[in-house]
Amino acid sequence: MFFPSEPMQTDEDLQKMFNLLIETAKKTNKLYLLLSRTLDNRSPLAVAMCHPKCTESIIKELIQNQDSNQLLLAFDLAAKRHLFRPDLSKLLFASFPSSATDKKNILIQIACRHNCVEMLRWLAENEDIISKLN
């Protein structure tokens, strides 16, 4: 659902599909499907972060029960694909557990590794927000 298709889904279409998935998973007691992983260990959250029409409500739902590794993989995939979304990144960054120390430095490394200027700029421009979340 989170891989962009042609014609491109609208954000409303994507939200409707996601809501249907959530409702069905809850009715059938299969919420574990939202925590499934691809062969390279990426969760639906990591892929959703790269979808240009993904909404904050979808990200908020997917963030639940994710560990620090999956949060980092979401940042990593967004930087790798150069599809960094500042609006969603703040939510993701705030979700790191307080025990995840040095997350800003790790994100700087991710941004530099993938030459993601947008992420590096976001980290620099939001120093005050990020320091409060650390």
Residue 51: inside a domain: yes
CA–CA gap between residue 110 and residue 133 (Å, rounded): 18
- pLDDT of 111 strictly over 90: yes
Total-model pTM: 0.79
Residue 1: inside a domain: no
Higher pLDDT, 4 or 111: 111
Whole-number pLDDT of residue 125: 86
Whole-number pLDDT of residue 42: 83
Residue 5: inside a domain: no
Residue 4: inside a domain: no
Number of domains in the chain: 1
Residue 109: inside a domain: yes
Tokens of 34: 């939202």
Residue 2: inside a domain: no
Residue 73: inside a domain: yes
Q: What is the tens place of the pLDDT at every residue in 4-46?
A: 565 667 788 888 888 888 888 889 998 887 778 888 888 889 8
Higher pLDDT, 121 or 52: 121
Residue 6: inside a domain: no
Q: Which domain holds residue 66?
A: 11-133
Q: What is the tens place of the pLDDT at every residue in 52-101?
A: 888 899 999 899 878 888 899 999 999 999 989 998 888 888 888 776 66
